[in-house]
Each structure stands twice: as structure tokens, then as C-alpha cells.
């Protein structure tokens, strides 16, 4: 009996630890309180501020555009890299795989700092050109795309490509009509990993971004040092919106994968 | 258009050389030169003789070790209970545990900070404790996921066999399940320990003004001291390499972002 209680209590307590702060902040985002405590009245003021303040709006849009752009570039580069290395000689492909692993295990502070030194200090690239920032985020993301595509290539029937070529396809046709459809799943999950990595990043952005540009992370960190309470509580609203968005996305993904599994089961 | 499949990899190989290998080489160059471009070991000896930097290294290791231990103590039971439960929806439940890592970490720490402020009044009173709570809050999903993934794949007949051979529950767990879940534990540790040494934003946001290794890089960066900063980065790289060699990194790539669940 007590065992049963432990089996339920432990996960529930940990869930509370993980979610209570986010949920309380979500509740307070609908009030006029400037700190957690007594609730005086409910209002949507924080949400209005969030969407009507130019600075906040451009920061959110900028973060999303950066994430999508970097993820797209990373997906193209990482996928090509995976295909190339998969069909290369053992030595070449293991060299690529090893170097690919460096940004994955390296601390983001080190990645960001070293890229800044190379691009900005050594080559004098201006941070205002956004080049260091985009390069930084692609460096952060592409290795993960590579890692999600490689398993798909391993699963693929290797004779398909040759068959397409024997039937008269050009390499480009064989690539786009045969290989890409087979590894699309890996590319999609690599792309979504890339988006989440870029959205969550603080360290690479802070060493490579233009002074006038902010991502959500760098903005929030600076805002907590400031004393503007309307901005601070508007960020509570942002946190709540992101939380809801994550729930929706995870829910949809679960629903889809559940349906796919059911279909598989019916087929079998 | 004629090309062989191998040549498709060239852009990525060039990219890796330019933006992964070259920055590391530059780091080495700056770490072992001074402002005039002359070779020097000064930065290295400075780091290992200055009580401040050594203190920072010790403090980072302490925070990282405590955070990792706390994460492991919380994550293992949760992962074990979930992985061994007979619930049909356990893949959905593990998703709920992992979901916070898709919410921007600075916003999550903001939420935690408000709660801690309410509970403690003044955050500055317990800087070490708050930092550990903050890091645990931030990194816990990264510890739960790899351990869960390892245990859920274990062959259940192994523990049954142990029981048939006379082991009680505790023996079966200690001799069979625990050793077999070691790869997940190791991958979880490497997911938590290194970020805990470097994520100075968590400390900043929770008003802990003591430096960790990451803050040291940032302070050298702010002072335009590329040489000193590069040396700190190299020291961190050394620790990372040591760690990777020890843990023989297996599946941390999926753990870092919950890729296994996507």
C-alpha cells in the first residue's frame, strides 16, 4: 500500500515543482499585480502591453525569424552533410562525425565566445551585419540536424538510389525523388530541434548579436536587471503564451503519433 | 546536373572547418599569446595561481556537483517509476515531464524567481541554495529523459529471472536494473554537469553574485580581454574533454533536446 502511495506521490511532487512556478506566473499574468502576493483585480493589461509595445513586438518577431532562418539553413547544411558523409569513405565520414560532435558537447558559452573571437576580433566582421549571430545559431543547430538525418540514411535501402540511376534518373532527380523522401522524417525532426535550440539560446546570441537586437532570452535577462515593472509583467504574459503554445504543439504531436501508431497496428 | 553523392557533403565539411575547427584554433592562439602577439604561458599560469580564478573553478565544480546529485536523486525515482509502470499512457506522461524544456529557460527562471522571492523574502540570503534550486529546475528534464529511455528499454524478463533465482526486490534492483540503467545515468550526468558549470545566467537572475566559469568568460569578454577569456574557455574545454572521455558519450544528443520524443 505505502509503495503505491510513493509511486504516485514522487512523480506528482516533481510535476508540482516543475509546473507550479509557471502556473502561478500564468495566473498573475492576468492581474495587475507587479509581484506575486495579493491579487487585487484581474486585467488583460499585460497582454495589451505585450502586443502594443514596439520593443517587445520586434524582439519576439526577431527571435522567431532568427530561429526559422537559422533552422532552415541548418537543415539544408546538416542534411547535405549527412548524405555526403554517409556515402564517403570511412575516414572522411568519421572525421565529419567527430567534428560534428564538438558543438553538441561543447558549452554554449565557449562556442559563442570562440565564434565571436574568430569572426569579430580576427576577421573584423561587424556584429551589426547579423552574420556572426546567424552563423552562431547555424553552428548550434546543424550538428543536431546531421544527427537526426544519419539514422534515416542507415535505415534506407541502399539499392534504391542505384536503382533510380539505373532507370535513367540524374543524380539530382535520384536525390530529390528517392533519397529526400526517405529521410524527410529525420529532416523534419532535425528542423524542429533546431528551432527549439535557437529559441532557447542565450549564450551564443549574447556574444554574437548586434547591440540593438535582442532575442527573447537576452531581452528577459536584461529586463530582470531593470526596474520597469510593466515590461516585467508583460513578460509573464509572454511566458504564459509560450507555455500554452508548447502544450498545443505537444498535444497535436501526440495525437498525430497516436493516430499513426493505431494505423500501423490496424495494418499489422 | 552531374555530381556524386560524396560531393554533397563538401559545403557542410567546409562549414565545420570554418566555424567549429577554426574558432577552436583561434582560441588556442589567443590563450597562449599576449597582447603583442608573442607566445606566452602567462595566461595559463595566471589562471592556476590566482586564488580568485581557482576559487571560481572550485565554486563551479561545487555548484555543478551538488546540482547533478540533486537532479539524479530526484530524476532516478521518477524515471524508474514511470518506466516500470503498467500505464498505457506513459509516453504521454514522460512528455509532460520533459515539456518544460521547450519553454524558454529565461522565462522559466523568471517564474521560479518570483516564487522563491515570495517564499524567502530576500533572495540574497541563500545564494548557493537558490542557484542549485534554479539549476535543478532548469536541467531536471535533461536528467529524467535519458534515464527513462534506458530503463524503459530494459528487458523485463531479466528482473523476473533474478527473482526466480531467489533475489528479493531490492537485490533484483541493485544487481540488475541499476547497473543496466548506468548508461542513462551517465548521459544524464553529462547533460547536467557541464551546463551547471557554465550557465551563469541562472545565478545572475537569482541574484547570486559569485562567479562560476561561465561568468568568468563573460567578465573577460566585457573587459575585451580576449587572451584571458580564451584561456578560461580552454580550461572549460579541457574539463569537457575529460568528461566526454570518462562518460564515452553515447546518446546525449537525443537527451539534450528531447529528440527521442519528437
Residue B22 lies inside a defined structural domain of this protein? no
| Contact map slice: B 145-164 vs A, CB within 8 A | none
- Report pLDDT digits (tens) over B93-116: 898 999 998 899 999 999 999 899
- Place A202 in a pLDDT band, splitting at 50, 70 and 90: very high
In this predicted model, which residue has the larger pLDDT, B20 or B85? B20
Residue B31 lies inside a defined structural domain of this protein? no
SS3 at position A31:
strand
Residue B36 lies inside a defined structural domain of this protein? no
Interface test with A, best of B111, B191, B196 (most A CBs within 10 A): B111
In this predicted model, which residue has the larger pLDDT, A117 or B174? A117
Asked whether residue B253 carries a pLDDT value surpassing 60, the answer given is: no
Residue B48 contacts A, CB cutoff 8 Å: no
- Report pLDDT digits (tens) over A89-115: 899 999 999 999 999 989 999 999 999
- Report pLDDT digits (tens) over A179-199: 999 999 999 999 999 999 999
Look at residue B2 in the predicted model and tell me its pLDDT: 54
Residue A162 contacts B, CB cutoff 8 Å: no
Q: What is the CATH number of the domain that holds B212?
A: 1.10.3720.10
Asked whether residue B254 carries a pLDDT value surpassing 50, the answer given is: no
**Total of domains in chain B:** 1
Asked whether residue B255 carries a pLDDT value surpassing 80, the answer given is: no
Look at residue A117 in the predicted model and tell me its pLDDT: 93
Residue B54 lies inside a defined structural domain of this protein? no
Residue B29 lies inside a defined structural domain of this protein? no
In this predicted model, which residue has the larger pLDDT, B4 or A95? A95
- For chain A, domains (ranges, CATH) are 46-102+135-201+213-231 (1.10.3720.10)
Residue span of the structural domain in which B233 resides: 60-261
Residue B217 contacts A, CB cutoff 8 Å: yes
**What mean pLDDT is predicted for residues A255-264?**
74
Residue B209 lies inside a defined structural domain of this protein? yes
- Report pLDDT digits (tens) over A59-91: 999 999 999 999 999 999 999 999 999 988 899
Residue B159 lies inside a defined structural domain of this protein? yes
Residue B44 lies inside a defined structural domain of this protein? no
Asked whether residue B256 carries a pLDDT value surpassing 70, the answer given is: no
| Contact map slice: B 236-255 vs A, CB within 8 A | 236-237, 240, 244, 249, 252-253
| Contact map slice: A 13-72 vs B, CB within 8 A | 14-15, 17-22, 24-25, 28, 35-37
Asked whether residue B250 carries a pLDDT value surpassing 50, the answer given is: no
CA nearest to B74 within chain A: A14
- Place B125 in a pLDDT band, splitting at 50, 70 and 90: confident
Residues of chain A positioned with their CB less than 8 A from the CB of B26: 114, 117-118, 122
Min Cα distance A32 → chain B (Å) is 15
Amino acid at each position: 500500500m505505502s509503495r503505491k502511495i510513493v509511486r504516485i506521490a514522487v512523480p506528482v511532487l516533481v510535476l508540482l515543482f516543475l509546473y507550479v512556478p509557471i502556473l502561478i506566473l500564468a495566473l498573475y499574468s492576468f492581474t495587475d499585480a507587479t509581484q506575486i502576493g495579493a491579487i487585487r483585480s484581474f486585467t488583460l493589461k499585460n497582454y495589451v502591453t505585450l502586443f502594443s509595445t514596439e520593443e517587445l513586438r520586434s524582439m519576439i518577431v526577431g527571435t522567431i525569424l532568427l530561429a526559422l532562418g537559422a533552422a532552415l539553413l541548418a537543415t539544408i547544411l546538416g542534411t547535405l552533410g549527412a548524405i555526403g558523409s554517409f556515402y564517403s569513405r570511412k575516414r572522411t565520414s568519421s572525421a565529419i562525425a567527430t567534428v560534428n560532435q564538438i558543438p553538441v558537447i561543447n558549452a554554449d558559452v565557449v562556442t559563442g565566445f570562440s565564434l565571436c573571437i574568430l569572426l569579430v576580433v580576427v576577421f573584423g566582421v561587424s556584429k551589426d551585419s547579423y552574420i556572426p549571430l546567424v552563423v552562431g545559431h547555424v553552428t548550434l543547430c546543424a550538428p543536431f540536424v546531421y544527427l537526426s538525418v544519419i539514422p534515416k540514411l542507415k535505415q534506407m535501402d541502399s539499392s534504391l538510389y542505384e536503382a533510380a540511376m539505373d532507370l535513367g534518373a540524374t543524380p539530382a532527380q535520384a536525390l530529390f525523388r528517392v533519397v529526400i523522401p526517405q529521410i524527410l522524417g529525420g529532416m523534419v525532426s532535425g528542423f524542429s530541434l533546431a528551432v527549439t535550440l535557437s529559441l532557447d539560446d542565450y549564450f551564443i546570441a549574447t556574444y554574437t548579436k548586434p547591440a540593438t537586437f535582442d532575442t527573447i532570452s537576452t531581452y528577459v535577462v536584461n529586463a530582470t536587471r531593470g526596474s520597469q515593472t510593466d515590461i516585467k509583467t508583460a513578460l509573464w504574459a509572454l511566458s504564459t503564451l509560450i507555455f500554452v503554445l508548447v502544450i498545443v504543439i505537444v498535444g497535436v504531436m501526440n495525437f498525430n503519433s497516436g493516430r499513426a501508431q493505431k494505423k500501423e497496428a490496424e495494418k499489422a | 546536373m552531374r555530381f556524386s553523392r560524396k560531393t554533397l557533403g563538401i559545403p557542410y565539411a567546409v562549414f565545420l572547418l570554418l566555424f567549429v575547427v577554426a574558432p577552436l584554433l583561434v582560441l588556442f592562439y589567443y590563450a597562449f599569446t599576449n597582447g603583442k602577439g608573442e607566445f606566452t604561458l602567462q595566461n595559463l599560469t595566471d589562471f592556476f595561481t590566482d586564488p580568485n580564478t581557482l576559487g571560481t573553478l572550485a565554486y563551479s565544480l561545487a555548484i555543478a556537483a551538488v546540482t547533478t546529485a540533486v537532479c539524479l536523486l530526484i530524476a532516478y525515482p521518477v524515471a524508474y517509476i514511470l518506466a516500470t509502470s503498467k500505464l498505457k499512457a506513459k509516453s504521454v506522461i514522460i512528455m509532460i515531464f520533459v515539456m518544460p524544456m521547450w519553454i524558454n529557460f529565461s522565462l522559466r527562471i523568471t517564474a521560479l524567481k518570483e516564487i522563491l522571492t515570495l517564499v524567502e523574502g530576500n533572495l540574497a540570503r541563500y545564494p548557493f541554495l537558490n542557484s542549485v534550486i534554479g539549476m535543478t529546475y532548469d536541467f531536471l528534464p535533461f536528467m529524467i529523459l535519458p534515464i527513462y529511455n534506458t530503463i524503459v528499454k530494459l528487458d523485463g524478463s531479466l528482473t523476473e529471472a533474478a527473482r526466480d533465482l531467489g533475489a528479493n526486490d531490492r537485490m533484483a534492483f541493485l544487481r540488475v536494473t541499476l547497473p543496466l540503467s548506468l548508461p542513462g545515468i551517465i548521459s544524464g550526468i553529462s547533460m547536467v554537469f557541464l551546463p551547471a558549470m557554465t550557465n551563469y545566467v541562472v545565478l545572475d537572475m537569482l541574484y547570486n553574485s559569485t562567479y562560476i566559469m561561465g561568468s568568468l568568460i563573460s567578465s573577460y569578454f566585457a573587459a575585451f580581454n580576449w587572451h584571458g577569456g580564451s584561456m578560461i574557455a580552454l580550461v572549460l574545454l579541457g574539463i569537457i574533454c575529460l568528461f566526454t572521455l570518462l562518460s564515452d558519450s553515447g546518446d546525449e544528443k537525443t537527451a539534450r533536446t528531447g529528440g527521442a520524443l519528437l
